[in-house]
Amino acid sequence: MSTFVVVGGDAAGMSAASKAKRDDPDLDVVVFERGQWVSYGACGLPYYVKGEIQSLEDLVSVTPEEFREERDIDLRIGHDVTEIDPDGRTVTAQGDDGEVEQEYDHLLVATGAEAVTPPIEGLDREGVYTLGSMSDGKDLREYVARARDEGNLQQPDRGLACQFLETCTGPVGIVGGGYIGIEMAEALAANGFEVHLFQRGDRVLTQFSRATSEAVLDHLETQDVAVYLDSEVRELAGDGSVEAVVTPDDRVPVEMVLVGTGVRPRTALAEAAGIELGETGAIATDAYRETTVQDVYAAGDCAEAEHVVTGAPAYVPLALTANRHGRAVGQTVTGSPTEGGGVAGTAAVKAFDVEAARTGVLPEEARRAGFDPLTDTIEAKSRAGYYPEGGTVQVTLTVDRPTGRVLGGSLVSEYGEGAVHRSHALVGAVTEGVTVDELANYDLAYAPPFNTTWDPVLTAAKVVDGQR
């Protein structure tokens, strides 16, 4: 019997294991997961900390028991794979029952990513947290609960940030203005904390257009989140426990700090086995997710993929990519070679009462890739002007000036006014290499409760096309 071994039990790993077992029920599928959780939605952790999701178990898609009993997958949690031997075609894992050696015919490395550890003094102090795992989420939720029990928090009337910072207690710091930082600012402010967010660059959400970043920043400030731009954190000061965030210009008293400065691929196991990394620092693969070692694949947050616009390797650690690529590996190892597909860098974020989305490449990256980018930002109504509800949508569109090819876009709107769903039209355009005049003629749906006759995406395409 052929054996498919998977290292890592989250999105990519369990998607691959499940698909392989469905396509070939006789295949022996073994999954090693060093933690106690599998197949969980880490993207939901900020909303668990906030209190909108009541239980960690709610974030689990399929339980270990279901994988074992209903899908016939040999899932071994609490087993840390310590070595891959490509010559002997074995993996060695350490568990509570001692060391285990497992042979494989095909192997998937799905070791995920880990939180970046910035060069900040005091990261080991009590009260300093990250949010990269279910246990991290549990710890943060317990911190919020303790703060409530100790009576340190005054609950705001609107369930969001305190109306005036001086009326709040329980100041907390967030280091990093990316996805986690923004989402956790909302989660902590919703629980009555006085939130201070520190960003080393000159804007938050640097993956988005500057116009989108500025719109989100403006909204954060209306929610009484104190944002410190161009503020590189030097130290998390304190005597045992963290007491202050120290930058070259400020010393801000805090009672807790969340460090959310990004993630990096977890590649040590692969490197030790002689598997090559790509130029992004993640594991290099071909279109079928096979690495430089025969019959060894890599997928998810530890691996790179090809960008659909630039054609170059890209590192985009997001859930859909992990699921797609894992599923493709499951098909490939059972005899149906399947490409995982490229990535467009599509992402979305909610910040209190606004939503933002992005896809493709923006001007700086476009120039590095050899394009001549033309970009503009428009703002339009989200629904028909006579409709009694609605807001605005801001669209930043980037195209290649000589060819008109749509390269990327960034959108922001009030929450529920469609920035994220409108971005899907741009994803299609970016992925298929559509020109801006073709995009302007997309037959998008129209009805007064949903948009204007000329959707904001179409309006942006017409404006940018007129400037070529």
**Per-residue model confidence as pLDDT tens digits over 152-183:** 554 444 333 333 333 335 899 999 999 999 99
Helix or strand holding residue 272 (H, E): helix 268-272
* Strand residues in 138-247 grouped as ranges (E): 171-175, 194-198, 226-228, 235-237, 244-246
- Give the C-alpha separation, 11 to 301, whole Å: 9
Other beta carbons within 10 angstroms of residue 246's beta carbon come to: 17
Is the separation of the CB atoms in 361 and 429 below 8 Å?
A: no
- Give the C-alpha separation, 410 to 394, whole Å: 8
pLDDT tens-place string over residues 383-409: 999 999 899 999 999 999 999 999 999
Q: Please state the pTM of the whole predicted model.
A: 0.93
pLDDT tens-place string over residues 199-209: 999 999 999 99
DSSP state, 239? Answer: S
* Domains delineated in the chain: 3-39+52-112+264-332 (3.50.50.60), 128-259 (3.50.50.60), 354-465 (3.30.390.30)
Using the structure block, give the residue that is written with the tokens 């980018």.
373
Between vectors from CA 381 to CA 375 and to CA 385, what angle results, nearest 5°? 150
Question: Cβ neighbours of residue 419 under 8 Å, at least 6 residues apart?
Answer: 355, 356, 357, 393, 394, 411, 412, 413
- Give the C-alpha separation, 202 to 327, whole Å: 39
Q: In tens digits, what is the pLDDT along the chain, a chain of 468 residues?
A: 799 999 999 999 999 999 999 999 999 999 999 999 999 999 999 999 999 999 999 999 999 999 999 999 999 999 999 999 999 999 999 999 899 999 999 999 999 999 999 999 999 999 999 999 999 999 999 998 887 666 555 444 433 333 333 333 589 999 999 999 999 999 999 999 999 999 999 999 999 999 999 999 999 999 999 999 999 999 999 999 999 999 999 999 999 999 999 999 999 999 999 999 999 999 999 999 999 999 999 999 999 999 999 999 999 999 999 999 999 999 999 999 999 899 999 999 999 999 999 999 999 999 999 999 999 999 999 999 999 989 999 999 999 999 999 999 999 999 999 999 999 999 999 999 999 999 999 999 999 999 999 999 999 999 999 999
52 burial via Cβ count (<10 Å: 0-12, 13-18, 19+): exposed
Establish whether 168 is a catalytic residue: no
